[in-house]
Amino acid sequence: MRPNVGRSDGIVRILAGIALFVIPNLVAVGAWGAWSLYLVGAVLIATALFSFCPIYAALGLSTRPRVKP
């Protein structure tokens, strides 16, 4: 499991995750909508903290800079 989420990508994921936690408190969404936003927000924050995204891995993508040997 090699890290595949770069620094700027991780920052965007954390900010988006926090926003998804705040939105249900500001806008009237149903219970299912709120839990869905919380779940997606938690996944975004977790992938940023672990610097690993399973979807990127499955697609062979990476936003981390390449290290020159």
The predicted pLDDT at position 67 comes to 81
Mean pLDDT computed over 1-19:
95
Evaluate if residue 69 carries a pLDDT over 80: no
From the CB of residue 25, how many other CB atoms can be counted at a distance below 10 Å? 8
State the chain's maximal CA–CA distance in angstroms: 52
The predicted pLDDT at position 1 comes to 83
Q: How do residues 24-37 score in pLDDT, each as one tens digit?
A: 999 988 899 999 99
pTM for the model stands at 0.89
The predicted pLDDT at position 68 comes to 81
